[in-house]
Amino acid sequence: MFNIRSIILLFVSWVLIPRLTFLPKSLHTLLTIFGPFLLPKIIDAFNTSRATSRSVPIRPTPPWVQRALNLLFLSAVVFLVLSLPNFAPENVFLKTQSRLQIQPETLFNRLQKVRDLTADDETLRSKFGSASSKLVYVAYGPDTLINCIWCAAPDGNDAQNYFLYSLPKILTPHIFHLIVLGLATSSMVGTEGSRLRIHATIAGLVLACAEAWYMGTYDVSVNKRATVLQDIDFAHWRIRVWRYLAFAATDAVLGLVLWATSTNRWLAIPPKIAERLEASTKQAEATRLKLQGLGLLGNSINRDSALRGVREEYWQTEGQWMAETVQEEAVRTQINQALEKINYQGLETHVSGVADNLINSIDGLTTSQMLPSSDTSEAATQ
């Protein structure tokens, strides 16, 4: 039997997904084949988590989670600021609006008109004599080209050497980001953060491996065909921006998930039976102490003649005031209107149902008590 949900899932899997032209064809095929099987499981898991979250009351953000959220917010802001061009290393080609084929002397003469040249500029001037050095500069940045003294190879195939030299600098921001993720999901945050520790670590490692893999497989010769400035792929500066934006996005998503899970708005974990029993026991004990104190207070009032007189005077005054209030015409009118709105038949049905349930419960208890006694008598007879 097909229901509305099955029809919608089949439509999404067989009609909608194949028309998502921006997806690769292999992904089209996988989603088309496995979509009807995976989508129901994903929907069921989502509904289960949502139902569980609804069964657990929402609570305020715990103070230890708030500290982790503050850390993630500060980290995201710092990474967003670092992604700005003001904090990136200077790009002499963009600074002078020059293309890669420009002569080094002309390039640095233009740069000298903008600012004074430094020792690093002189080093770049000497290295820019070869076209491969310019390609390395665009791919791995100025620091790698200037400071790596063992990267240059006689045959010109030195891109791998420059990548190995720049790899520690590529991974250093990721290490700091992993430290932030580790602190935000450490045991100091409690179980709310610890449950997300593996996911946060995997996210940080995926970002690090993705950047290392991309730069390791990047073809520096792709800019050989760039004849104008707009065609140049400044990979070092582009990846730097995307890196810090990815860090900020990861921190924001982790903060949102941490806030939602810690306040029981999403993926709430019901308290364990032992914890619920302990909480109920504490609540019952507190109620018993309050009732005990109320009983002691009542006994003290009854034993003291002055307090007993004050209580009796209060109830006498209260009774007289209520009697006078009921005698007023406006109050009597409101009472009559309220009585007219009562559905006596429905109330009688409800009371009858409650009474029947109570009687059935008593009968069930009586039967359960009679069965063991009859078994005992039969055993004694045998």
Hey, where are the domains in the chain?
4-55, 63-262, 284-327, 331-358
Q: Is the pLDDT of residue 377 over 60?
A: no
Q: CA separation (Å) from 366 to 353, 355, 361, 362?
A: 20, 16, 9, 6
Q: Is 209 helix (H, G, I), strand (E, B) or coil?
A: helix
On whether the CB atoms of residues 197 and 185 are closer than 8 A, the answer is yes
Cα–Cα distance between 317 and 113 in angstroms, integer?
98
Query: What is the predicted pLDDT for the residue at 18?
Result: 67
Average pLDDT, the chain: 83
Q: Choose the weakest-confidence range: 262-271, 279-288, 316-325, 341-350.
A: 262-271
pTM of the model: 0.66
Query: What is the predicted pLDDT for the residue at 184?
Result: 92
pLDDT band per the 50, 70, 90 thresholds, residue 381: very low
On whether the CB atoms of residues 235 and 217 are closer than 8 A, the answer is no
